[in-house]
Amino acid sequence: MTSRVLNNNSTCINRLNKESGDHSCPIWLLVNPNYPADIYDIWALIMYEIQDMVYRKLRARINSKTIFIMNTVSDIGRVPNTSIETAVTKEVVLLRESILKHQPKLLITFGAITNEFVKRVFAIRPANGPQYWNTSNLAEEFKQSIANFDITQTNWIPLSRRVTKIKNLRDWEDCENYYHEVATKIAERIIENKDILKIWI
């Protein structure tokens, strides 16, 4: 997998410089352009665990090179700003159209900002607005997304990105446990729908 390092000062970036992989892949990763390393620091570790579990169960491998990766937006307007809101609205429309066209089955986001961006794509807005945009809500939303997983539609799966802040051994153990739990839940859904998902080498 590859991830392009983008201009962190731009909310809307040339689309040719912000995407990699194959739109037709059922797995999409949406990344905040301020944190392109999330693909390596978070997803690569989760994907390693998923591949291990999938292979043990199915004796098959996921073609990770085709997973579609897209940098979305780095600012969704916590502080009112007309130019940012206009740019984000444009990006919301473009992503909504792309999702409707390609129908990905797993839409995985990293962090609260990217998760909130996808909520706008699906026209879901929390009543308390920006106060809801925090990492503590992502764990519960992840559980709900896995519990409500439906292979006939696009399922967005929010991941926390703050697990990368490791200061001591306990933090590392918590991080490993997080990756393992997330990978297990995602792998279970992939295995359950192995005959529908076109992701295999």
Convert the pLDDT of each residue in 81-132 to its tens digit.
Answer: 676 777 778 888 899 999 999 999 999 999 888 888 888 888 876 555 555 5
- pLDDT tens string 46-83: 999 999 999 999 999 999 999 999 988 776 666 556 76
- pLDDT higher than threshold 70 for residue 147: yes
C-beta atoms surrounding 168 within 10 Å: 8
Element housing 69 (H / E): strand 68-71
* Number of domain units in the chain: 1
Residue 87 lies in a domain: yes
Residues 9-30, mean pLDDT to the nearest whole number: 71
Residue 147 lies in a domain: yes
Burial class of residue 201 (count of CB atoms within 10 Å of its CB; 0-12, 13-18, 19+) = exposed
What percent of the chain clears pLDDT 90, i.e. is strictly above it? Answer: 47
pLDDT at site 113:
86
Residue 68 lies in a domain: yes
pLDDT at site 192:
97
Q: Is 188 left (phi over 0), alpha (psi -120 to 50) or beta?
A: alpha
- Reading the block at residue 154, the tokens are 């696009």
Burial class of residue 127 (count of CB atoms within 10 Å of its CB; 0-12, 13-18, 19+) = exposed
- pLDDT higher than threshold 50 for residue 31: yes
Highest mean predicted confidence (pLDDT) among 72-81, 153-162, 176-185, 188-197: 188-197
Q: Which residue has the higher pLDDT, 86 or 156?
A: 156
Residue 3 lies in a domain: no
Residue 83 lies in a domain: yes
Position 151 confidence tier, pLDDT thresholds 50, 70, 90: very high
CATH code, domain carrying 98: 3.40.470
- pLDDT higher than threshold 70 for residue 170: no
CB 67 within 8 A of CB 201: no
Range of the structural domain that residue 94 is part of: 16-192
Residue 167 lies in a domain: yes
Residue 43 lies in a domain: yes
Residue 201 lies in a domain: no
